[in-house]
Structure 1
Amino acid sequence: MADIDLIPAAYLKRQLVQRLVTRFLIAAIAVAVLVGGARVALSRAIVSETATVARLQKAVDIYSQTEAKADGYRQQRRIDEARLAHLDELRGRDRLTVLLHAIDAAYSPSIWLDELRYLRRENLPAGTLKPPAGGAGSTVLVNPKGSVPGPGVAASRPSVEQRAEIVGHATDHTRLAEFMRSLSAQPGITDVRLLDTGLRTYTNAQVIDLSLTLLIESQPGRSQ
């Protein structure tokens, strides 16, 4: 009786199949859980990476805009600095001091002034220079000694010319010519030109109207 197997073979086979199926299902579920977890983790990583890329792209855009604005500001600053430097050149106090000292040194009781204007060279009044009234033959033009270059020497022209126009009166043409010569002899004053002149009657006396221009150097003895 000890050698007799009381468990049917079919039952044993069924038990073996059930164990194999159970193990397969457990393995399949484990694989599914692992795959699902991996997909969730990958999805989260993709979302996080996408957000990071978006933030970086936004930062790049902001940097590009900021850099463009900074370039614009730098360019505008250079333009403003150039304008300020040019304006300072035109309004330079050194030239004003040179002009006032020159007028004071050339002053004569026979000359009195009505207006004093600063002019850029390209803004000089247009028109033909007129000869002095009263029979004088030619226009008065005074150039200081040494201002005219010799033969074969190129005339040097300043890069920025600050001119002034003087409008006033003189008792006669002789006093006017003396005033212009005295002006041209002053330090820092060159190219004194008579633009216009004419007679005017005041009560019982006649005076000479005058309008002349001159070039002011930034420093006496030096070109601008």
Structure 2
Amino acid sequence: MADIDMIPRSYREGLRVRRTLAAYGAALAALLVLGGAASAFLHWRVATETPLLETARAASAQAGAMRTRLVDAQARKDALADNVGALAGLRGAGEVAALAKVLDQALNERVWFDTLRLARTQEALQAPPAPLPPDTVQARSAQTGATQAWRLGTQIEIAGGALDNAAMSAFLAALAADPALAEVRFLNSSTATAEDGGTVGFHASAALVKHKEAP
């Protein structure tokens, strides 16, 4: 006996469509739930991370400002260090000791001094050479950063006496051979009478050489 399907085909199609729509609706609802959860999570993360980001930005700005201040402070320190060296050069620090050492090595019992004159010169330079030679010092303004250089010179003039011309010549030769002096010049001399001992009076001049200080 044959089975007879009494359910209309349209009913079956409608049921299948409703089931399909129900499945799609459930999937969409699940997606909406997941999307809402993800959105809520993202909002929470943004709310949590934003203060941390602002704090990091503020710390970065403070660190940048501190680096700028440190750079400025180092620049001022370097300028002051240069100026201390320039001031020492302008004052002739150490020159008297250097000259005393030179003269002590050249003098002997046959030569003596009557007078010793030391004159210092300072010439402002508009365009200092680079690198600076040993006879030049440079100072920098801490406010503007502008620099000024000077060429320094130290001239000495000696008036002394010697027992004879040989002693005088030996003394001047010792001065000329010393690397700490340059431009050693014999200016004049006079010889006393035999009754006054026959000693020789003389005048000489020289320039004190400046050497580059070791760092």
Same-fold status (TM-score > 0.5): no
Task: Pick the structure with more strand per residue.
Answer: 2
